[in-house]
Amino acid sequence: MDVFTLKKDSLQDFLSTLSAAYQLWAPLQKDGDTLFEPVLDCRNNLPDLDHQAKIIKHAIFPQTEPLFSYDQNDQIQAPGFGDMKQAVLFGVRPCDARSLTLLDQVFAGDVPDPYYMSRRDKAILIGIACTDPFANCFCTSVGGTPCGREGLDLLCTDLGNRYLVAVLSEKGKEIINKASSLFTAAPAEDIKRGAELAQNAERGIRRHIDLAGVTDTLGKIFEHPVWKKMTLKCIGCGICTYTCPTCYCFDIQDEPMAKKRGRRVRVWDSCMYKEYTLHASGHNPRPTRIERLKNRIYHKFKFNVDTHGAFGCVGCGRCITLCPVNEDIIENLLAVKGAA
C-alpha cells in the first residue's frame, strides 16, 4: 500500500486540482455550523476539519431528489444516469464512510436504486482520521475505529504541518496521480507516527457500551415496560434520524408546478413521525412515540443485523449530541441490556 505526505501548505492547490476535475464536497463553515457542501471557492473557504459535519449522506442521497418530471401533456422525463459528474468527498470521517457501506446494502439490494447507485459509483471518498474523537463518539462499540479505512479511497492523518495520506483503492491512486507533484513518499517516521496516532485515537474514545448479545436480548423484550420509560423524554422531533448517517427512510410525493407541469420527488422521512406509518383508514401500527422509538432501536440493533448482518449504527454520536432533550442511544441500549 502506498503512503504519501501532503504539506498543509499544498492543501489549497490539491483541492483546486480536485475541484477542476470533479464535483468537490467538503465540510465547510457556514452560519456557525459545519456543513458538508459542494466546494465553490477553495481559496477562501477551506474545509473545516476540526468539527463534525452535520451529515454527509446527502452528497449521495439528497434530502430532496426529483425522481422524474412531467409536462402539461403528462410526458414523463426521467434523469439519465450516465452523464453525472464524478464527485470527490473530501474530509469524510471513517464512521461516515462506513455508514455508506451500510446504505449500499439497502440501495443495492435485489432491486438496485439507480439514483443512489449512480452517485455512489461515481463518488471518491477522501477520509480524515479522527485522531481526536468527539465527545459522543462510540464507533469502537459498533465495530468501527476512529482511524478506520473501510469504504475510503484515501485516508489523511493530521501530522501537524502535513497530512499522511494512505492510498486505499484504485480510485484513491487516481486522485494522487491527478496531483502527483504535491505528494511525496511518506518517510518511515511519519508512517510510524500515523500508527501511533491511530492507537491513541482509540483510547480517546470516551463512550463505550458492550453490545454483545444485544440483538438476542431485543428478540425477547418487545413488550417490556423499559420502552415506555425510555420514551418519556422523547418529543418526536426526528433530529436523530435526519442526522443519522445510516438512516435512509424516504417519502415519495408529487409536486404540482406552474403551467400544469410537475415532478415526483423523494424526500427524507423519519420513523419518529406518526404520519410515517399512518394508514389511510386512520389505523396506525406505531401510534405513539413508544412504538416509534422502539422501532428505531430495533431497526438498528436487530432488524439490520437479521437482514444485513451488521448493526445499523456506526457510533458517530450525532443523535446524542443533537437531541434537544438529551435522549442518549447508549443509555437506551444500556436500558435494553438491563431489561434482559
Partner 1 sequence: MMNPYLPVKATIAEIREETGGARPIKTFKVALQNGNAFNQKPGQCAMVGILRVGESMISIASSPTQQEYLEFSIMKLGKVTSALHSFEGGETITIRGPYGNGFPIAEWKGKNIVTIGGGIGQAPLRPIVQYVLDNRNDFEQFDIIYGARSTGDLCYKTELFELEKRNDLKVHLSIDMADPDWKQFVGFVPNNVLRIKPSPENTIAITCGPPVMIKYVIHNLLELGFSEQQIFTTLENRMKCGIGKCGRCNVGNFYVCKDGPVFNYATLKNLPEF
Q: CB–CB of 247/48 below 8 Å? A: no
Taking the complex as a whole, the smallest distance from the CB of residue 307 to partner 1 amounts, in Å, to 5
Taking the complex as a whole, the smallest distance from the CB of residue 71 to partner 1 amounts, in Å, to 10
- Give the cell for residue 229: 420509560
Q: Give burial (CB, 10 Å; 0-12/13-18/19+) of 244.
A: buried
Is residue 303 a contact point for partner 1 (CB under 8 A)?
A: yes
Is residue 107 a contact point for partner 1 (CB under 8 A)?
A: yes
Is residue 46 a contact point for partner 1 (CB under 8 A)?
A: no
Taking the complex as a whole, the smallest distance from the CB of residue 291 to partner 1 amounts, in Å, to 8
The residues near 335 (Cβ < 8 Å, ≥ 6 apart) are: 226, 229, 230
Closest CA to 244 of 86, 69, 87, 52: 52
| Cα separation, 8 vs 4, whole angstroms | 13
Is residue 106 a contact point for partner 1 (CB under 8 A)?
A: yes
| Cβ nearer to partner 1, comparing 98 with 299 | 299
Taking the complex as a whole, the smallest distance from the CB of residue 164 to partner 1 amounts, in Å, to 37
Strand partners, 26: 37
Is residue 227 a contact point for partner 1 (CB under 8 A)?
A: no
Q: CB–CB of 96/159 below 8 Å? A: no
Backbone φ, ψ for residue 141 (5° rounding): -85, -15
| Cβ nearer to partner 1, comparing 132 with 306 | 306
CB atoms inside a 10 Å sphere around CB 329: 24
Compute the Cα dihedral for 236, 221, 280, 112 and give only its sign.
Answer: positive
| Cβ nearer to partner 1, comparing 19 with 118 | 118
| Cβ nearer to partner 1, comparing 184 with 250 | 250
Segments of the chain assigned E as strands = 3-7, 23-30, 33-38, 64-70, 76-77, 87-92, 123-128, 154-158, 162-167, 183-185, 250-256, 262-268
Q: Which of residues 240-299 bind partner 1 (CB under 8 A)?
A: 248-254, 256, 260, 262, 264, 266, 269, 271, 276-281, 283, 285-286, 291, 295, 298-299
Pairing of strands 23-30, 87-92: parallel
Is residue 237 a contact point for partner 1 (CB under 8 A)?
A: no
| Cβ nearer to partner 1, comparing 76 with 185 | 76
Sheet holding 250-256, edge to edge: 76-77, 64-70, 262-268, 250-256
The residues near 307 (Cβ < 8 Å, ≥ 6 apart) are: none
Give the residue, chosen from 111, 188, 212, 258, that forms a contact with partner 1 under the rule CB under 8 A: 111
| Cβ nearer to partner 1, comparing 42 with 336 | 336
Give the residue, chosen from 196, 216, 306, 331, that forms a contact with partner 1 under the rule CB under 8 A: 306
The residues near 232 (Cβ < 8 Å, ≥ 6 apart) are: none
Q: CB–CB of 37/48 below 8 Å? A: no
Taking the complex as a whole, the smallest distance from the CB of residue 86 to partner 1 amounts, in Å, to 17
Taking the complex as a whole, the smallest distance from the CB of residue 224 to partner 1 amounts, in Å, to 11
Q: Which of residues 51-80 bind partner 1 (CB under 8 A)?
A: 67-68, 70, 74, 76, 78
Give the residue, chosen from 49, 84, 117, 191, that forms a contact with partner 1 under the rule CB under 8 A: 117
Taking the complex as a whole, the smallest distance from the CB of residue 76 to partner 1 amounts, in Å, to 7
Q: Which of residues 122-181 bind partner 1 (CB under 8 A)?
A: none
Is residue 204 a contact point for partner 1 (CB under 8 A)?
A: no
Q: Which residue ranges make up the site for partner 1 (CB under 8 A)?
A: 67-68, 70, 74, 76, 78, 81, 106-107, 109-115, 117-118, 222, 248-254, 256, 260, 262, 264, 266, 269, 271, 276-281, 283, 285-286, 291, 295, 298-299, 302-303, 306-307
